[in-house]
Amino acid sequence: MAEPTISADDFAFIARLVRQRCALVLEPGKEYLVKSRLFPLAQRHGLSGIGPLVDRLRASDNGLTTEVVEAMVTTETSFFRDIHPFETLKKTVLPQLIEARRAGRQLNFWFAASSSGQEPYSVALMLKEWFPELNDWRLNLWATDISHEMLHRSRAARYTQVEVNRGLPTTLLLKWFRQDGAHWQLDDRIRSMVTFSPLNLAQPWPAMPAWDLVFLRNVMIYFDNDVKKAILGRAGRVLNKDGYLLLGGAETTLSLDDSYRRIEALKSGFYQLKP
């Protein structure tokens, strides 16, 4: 079969389109990525290659544009990803927040690019398993992503063997998942703890409550500095004064937004607003 190709013009068109729609930056040199993600999509639509796909996008096929954007975002995730932030959450951050919210008995957590759901479900499992005192609290766990396909997968909460092998302790797998053919189905008691909605971080955000914890992990790395600054600014306005922002291992607020301070003692990407 012939190698997929992409012209410079078509690459520039795709780069502009995904930047406008989801803020993802595709620098020259990423042609291989566009080819590997969009050639299979073109084929699924009965098109011979990326050229005809771009022709259809130029004729403004909205459904197809959404599919292209969803094909271009990276959705890599896993249960308890990077381990350390989750240990810190369990040992330090959650006990502190629970103490601070004891009077109102409510916690508000937002997972702001939740991919296929492993991140919010890791926290839901943690709350259920290790914090039984929260059983009669109001736990508001809201998870959002731009990708409708990822939201659909998240709501289904069905994972492959490979996915449950990545980061999920066996004890939690056996206790909270049921094997169903080649998949593992998450128990409804955990699944129902998380609400999933579409949200594009690069566009104005809807009204939302003040959050005690905002997970904003492994998504800003794909954006340019102006978009990162805008997102961090908005996150600061929806974060409680004593709440935490959690970034991914390769992300920082440094040189982007000086209203945050990294909580060095926690050593795992937790930030708070400066007093």
**CA dist., res. 33 & res. 43, Å (int):** 16
Q: How far is the CB of 228 from ligand SAM (least distance, A)?
A: 11
* 253 touching ligand SAM, by CB under 6 A: no
Nearer of residues 119 and 257 to ligand SAM, judged by Cβ: 119
Pick the stretch among 101-109, 121-129, 154-162, 215-223 that binds ligand SAM (CB under 6 A).
215-223
x-marked contacts with ligand SAM along 174-203 as a string, rule CB under 6 A: -------------------------xxxx-
Pick the stretch among 97-105, 163-171, 216-224, 261-269 that binds ligand SAM (CB under 6 A).
216-224
Instruction: Label residues 61-95 b or e (16+ Cβ within 10 Å = b).
Output: eeebbebbbbbbbeeebbbbbeeebbebbbebbbe
* 219 touching ligand SAM, by CB under 6 A: yes
Partnered with residue 198 across adjacent β-strands are 145
Q: How far is the CB of 199 from ligand SAM (least distance, A)?
A: 6
CB atoms within 10 A of CB 25: 14
β-strand 270-273 against 260-262: which pairing, if any?
antiparallel
Contacts of residue 18, Cβ cutoff 8 Å, sequence gap at least 6 = 24, 26, 68, 69, 72
Q: How far is the CB of 90 from ligand SAM (least distance, A)?
A: 17
Q: How far is the CB of 113 from ligand SAM (least distance, A)?
A: 3
**CA dist., res. 258 & res. 275, Å (int):** 12
* 77 touching ligand SAM, by CB under 6 A: yes
Nearer of residues 174 and 250 to ligand SAM, judged by Cβ: 250
Q: How far is the CB of 150 from ligand SAM (least distance, A)?
A: 5
* 213 touching ligand SAM, by CB under 6 A: no
In the three-class reduction of DSSP (H, G, I as helix; E, B as strand; rest coil), residue 10 is classed as helix
**CA dist., res. 244 & res. 246, Å (int):** 6
Q: Of 21-40, which residues contact ligand SAM (CB under 6 A)?
A: 22-24
Closest CA to 251 of 271, 226, 273: 271
x-marked contacts with ligand SAM along 37-76 as a string, rule CB under 6 A: ------------------------------------xxxx
Nearer of residues 26 and 47 to ligand SAM, judged by Cβ: 26
Sign of CA dihedral 193, 134, 237, 113: negative
* 150 touching ligand SAM, by CB under 6 A: yes
Closest CA to 150 of 119, 193, 122: 119
Both structure tokens of 240 = 């409680």
Tell me 230's DSSP state: H
* 154 touching ligand SAM, by CB under 6 A: no
Q: How far is the CB of 254 from ligand SAM (least distance, A)?
A: 19
Site of interaction with ligand SAM (CB under 6 A) = 22-24, 73-77, 81, 113-115, 119, 145-147, 150, 199-202, 217-219, 248
